[in-house]
Amino acid sequence: MTNQPGTIIRLLSKVTLALAMGLALFSGGNAIASTDQTPSGRAAPDHTGEISRILAIQAMADAGDASAQYTLGVMYERGQGVSKDETQAVSWYQKAAAQGLATAQYNLATMYSLGHGTVRNEIAAVSWYRKAADQGIAAAQNNLGTMYSKGLGIARDDVQAVFWYRKAASQGLAAAQGNIGTMYADGRGVEKNLKTAVQWLLKAADQGFAGAENNLGVLSNYSIGVELSGGSPIEWFRRAASKGYPPAQVNLGNLYLMGSGVPQDDTQAIFWYRKAAEQGFAPAQVALGNMYALGRGVRKDGVQAAIWYRKASKQNSVVPADTP
C-alpha cells in the first residue's frame, strides 16, 4: 500500500476501492445510486388505489395530458394502483417526454440508462438527460455529467462533466456536490485543488450523502495538507457504511484487516466485506474470496473462495490478490 496522495482512486489493501462518482439515478424508488434525492416535481401523486381515480388518470392520459401520462408512467413503474409493468411505464414516459415534460424526460432517460422496460441505450439516455437538464432538473444535470465523465453514450469529456455537475451542485444536489468534489480531488476537468475538493465533499456529507462521507474517509487516510473536520477515516467510513454504502463497507473492512486506526480484527473485516459482497459489490467479493482462500477470520475454504471469485469475475472485476 502506498501513502502518496496522487489520484485518490486507490487501494486500501489489495482490493480496488474507487471514489464514489456513480450515476445518481433516482427514478421510481431504488435505482443504482446511494441517495434518494429527487428533482422538483419528481414525486408521484398519492395514489390510494381508488378505481375511479385511476380510470380518470387513464382517461386524461389517453386524451394527451402530459402530466397524466407521466403520472401513469410512475404508477406502472412502481406498481401503484396497477400491476407493475416497466414496459408500460416507458411507453407513457415517452408520450409525456415528447410533449416536453422535464420530469418524464428524466425518468425516460433513467429507464434507458438502466435498461428497465426497454433495451439499454446509453445514447438515448444522454439525449433525454440533456433535454431534462436544459430545463433545470438537477438530477438530470448530475447524471449527464456522469455520462460525460465515464464516456457513456457520448465521448468522454471531463470539462463538460464538471460543467453539468456544477449546475446540479449549485441547486444543492448532494450527489453532484460529491461528484464535483471528486473531480477537484483528481484534477479531472479542473485544476486539482484538494481544498476545494474537501469543501464540496463536506457540503454533500452535511446532507448525509454516503459517497461523499466515504471519499472524505479516503482523503483523511492520507496526509493531504488540508485540514479535515468531522472525524478520522474510521469515523467517515463508519458513517457511510452504516447507510449500506458498499465502498465504505469495504474500506472499513480494510482498516480492520490492517489494524489501521482500529485494533486488527479479521472477524470485523469479514463482517464488513460480507455486507458489501452480498450487495453485489465486486471488490468486496474479491476480498471475501481472499479471506476464505487464506483462512483469515474464517475456516480456510477453497470452495467458498471460488464462489466469491466467480461472482466478482462475472462483473469483470479485478483478479484475486495473492494476499488480502
Question: Which segment of 31-40, 44-53, 212-221, 232-241 scores lowest on mean pLDDT?
Answer: 31-40
pLDDT value, residue 259: 93
Q: What is the 3-state secondary structure (H, E, C) of 113-146?
A: HHCCCCCCCHHHHHHHHHHHHHCCCHHHHHHHHH
H or E stretch covering 11? strand 10-11
**Cα–Cα distance between 249 and 238 in angstroms, integer?**
8
Asked if the model's pLDDT at residue 226 lies above 70, the reply is no
Give the Cβ contact number of residue 259 at 10 Å: 12
CA distance 88 to 103: 17
**Confidence check: pLDDT of 65 > 90:** yes
CA 30/CA 39 separation, integer angstroms: 15
State pLDDT tens for residues 82-97.
999 999 999 999 999 9
pTM of the model: 0.80
Distances in Å between the Cα of 280 and the Cα atoms of 155, 274, 295, 296 are: 28, 10, 22, 21
Question: 181 pLDDT exceeds 90?
Answer: yes
